[in-house]
Amino acid sequence: MLTFTALGPFHAWSDGVPLDLGGQRQRAVLARLLVAGGRAVPVTMLIDELWPGDPPAQALSTIQGYVSRLRRALEPGRAPREEAGVLVSAARGYALRATADQVDAWRFEDLVQSDGDPARLWETMDAALALWRGPALAEFTDLTWAVTEAGRLEELRLVAVERRAGAGLALGRATALVADLEAHASAYPLREEAWRLLALALYRTGRQGDALGALRRARAIWRDELGLDLTSGLQRLEGDMLAQRLEEPAAPAGPPTAPPAASTVSASASVEGPPLRVLVADDQALVRAGMRTVLSDEAGLEPAGEAADGEEAIALARRTRPDVVLLDIQMPRLDGLAAARRILADERPPKVIVMTTFGSDENLYAALRAGVSGFVLKTSPPEQLVAAIRAAAAGDALIDPAVTTRVIAGFAGRTDPASPPALAGLPDDRIDVLKLVARGLTNQQIAQTLALPEPAVAAEVTALLDHLGLIDRAQLVVAAYESGLVTPGAAITK
């Protein structure tokens, strides 16, 4: 059986015997096709990516020679005029035809993204991590596409480590996990999930003081590195530990059919601790009454007040200090967009969720730029409203699917009148960082792609926010789209 391994040094194997793939650049051709996941890669792209900025005069014939020799290595028994079955010609380029069972990186990704009960997750994540043999595509660190893909796979590896740990906690294996989680949090101190899992594991082994100490360490590191306090989710976990509100899960006798209710503490779904106080602002009394009923009936939520216009909402938010404000975007005296901007400009503001009737108001995009934590339709079912409130309070965002398509399709790539004109004043290297942020890369992945230290990338992101007068990373993505720097569906290149 022909197999390919990329989770470490890149190799192709025939029934466990390594194949001779030739020199570094020839091997890079096959590795690039593997990274494409079975999709065709045009020859022009292969040339640009193998010889960035300086392709040789005979680059096309050189690529063709590489492919010919690779085909002989991969299919030695193929007749001279027989069509290739592995490295095939497609769409003015080439593609790798293989299955997930033949490519360790493809199999790894499928395993990491799979789901199931804790026992199944534990086994699946174990199997995924067993495929890892070192830094992915390790010999191609001079090629941008390989570095980017290696960063993506590394992020999936960290997710697998954390999903395995979460399943282990649900299965009552906290004691065995503590040492690994200590190492994980120390190696990746900016990952919220690493600290959450470590603190929970320590707490469940009876080490409450050490659990709180872990969260204090996280707070000190984040303040030094990012100038930020713990996320609301970790702060809530800390409060639950101090108040001893966390329950110990019973170790299951056999494989459970679903995670135990108290096996983990989720920042976005936990109803333990003080209820989230929600202020509702809408000029329609019927809407306010409906929201009041939803909040009163839902465990862990409670009404913090009601306002009938934007000015009243601002005053009430400052007086009652709610956790979340549900704000109608169309209101008399002062509309919801202006009210959201003023509420979010206050010191330690609440999270703001915009409510809309039709999901087509052009103010929605401006509201996203202002820093709101999502949009919901007034006609959304109660569970959708509750999910949005909990997501916002946990520092995440939830945008109603009926609104998302309109926001992206209607406004992406079109300059907002209030946006920075053409990102004026940004040097090219900072534009490169912005493009990669818009692509969704983490600071670590950006650092690998641009060959920069990770702290330097964090400083560049902070400088971008300051230069553009924006609040968070999500707004940087918006700025990239609305300025035309990035367009939906387009490949993002340096």
Is 487 part of a structural domain of the chain? no
Estimate the share of the chain in helix, then strand, then coil, as percent rounded to the nearest 5: 50, 10, 35
Question: Do 71 and 191 share a domain, yes or no?
Answer: no
Q: What is the pLDDT, as a whole number, of residue 416?
A: 43
Question: Which CATH number characterizes residue 473's domain?
Answer: 1.10.10.10
Is 451 part of a structural domain of the chain? yes
Place of tokens 């600290």: 195
Question: Do 176 and 152 share a domain, yes or no?
Answer: no
Of 176-180, 349-353, 381-385, which range is least confident?
A: 381-385
Sign of the CA dihedral running 320, 322, 328, 330: positive
Which residues, in sequence order, are bridge partners of residue 12? 4
Residue 131 predicted with pLDDT over 70: yes
What does the pLDDT look like over 166-224, one tens digit per residue? 999 999 999 889 888 998 898 888 899 999 999 999 999 888 888 999 999 999 998 88
The total of structural domains in the chain comes to 4
Per-residue confidence at 99, pLDDT binned at 50, 70, 90? Answer: very high
pLDDT, average across residues 276-286: 88
pLDDT, average across residues 71-83: 87
Question: Do 26 and 137 share a domain, yes or no?
Answer: yes
Angle subtended by helix axes 454-468 and 208-226, to nearest 10 = 60
Question: Which CATH number characterizes residue 176's domain?
Answer: 1.25.40.10
Question: Do 463 and 328 share a domain, yes or no?
Answer: no
pLDDT, average across residues 114-120: 91
Question: Do 405 and 455 share a domain, yes or no?
Answer: no
Boundary (domain end) residue, out of 123, 144, 170: 170
Per-residue confidence at 369, pLDDT binned at 50, 70, 90? Answer: low
Phi-psi region of 238 (alpha: psi -120 to 50; beta: other; left: phi over 0): alpha
Per-residue confidence at 254, pLDDT binned at 50, 70, 90? Answer: very low
CA 351 from centre of chain: 20
Is 131 part of a structural domain of the chain? yes
Eight-state DSSP code of residue 247: P
Question: Do 230 and 297 share a domain, yes or no?
Answer: no
Q: What is the pLDDT, as a whole number, of residue 341?
A: 84
Going by C-alpha positions, the residue among 483, 323, 324, 479 that lies closest to residue 414 is 483
Question: Do 447 and 380 share a domain, yes or no?
Answer: no
Boundary (domain end) residue, out of 153, 170, 187: 170
Question: Do 242 and 291 share a domain, yes or no?
Answer: no
Contact of 339 with 318, CB cutoff 8 Å: no
Contact of 357 with 287, CB cutoff 8 Å: no
CA-angle at 237, arms to 274 and 459, nearest 5°: 120
Eight-state DSSP code of residue 103: B
Question: Do 217 and 238 share a domain, yes or no?
Answer: yes
Question: Do 34 and 115 share a domain, yes or no?
Answer: yes
For residue 66, what are its two tokens?
């590489």
CA 274 from centre of chain: 28
Mean pLDDT (the chain, rounded): 80
Question: Do 240 and 289 share a domain, yes or no?
Answer: no
What does the pLDDT look like over 262-274, one tens digit per residue? 222 333 333 446 8
Is 461 part of a structural domain of the chain? yes
Of 62-66, 197-201, 345-349, 405-409, which range is least confident?
A: 405-409
Residue 30 predicted with pLDDT over 90: yes
Residue 356 predicted with pLDDT over 60: yes
Range of the domain at 59: 1-170
Question: Do 40 and 94 share a domain, yes or no?
Answer: yes
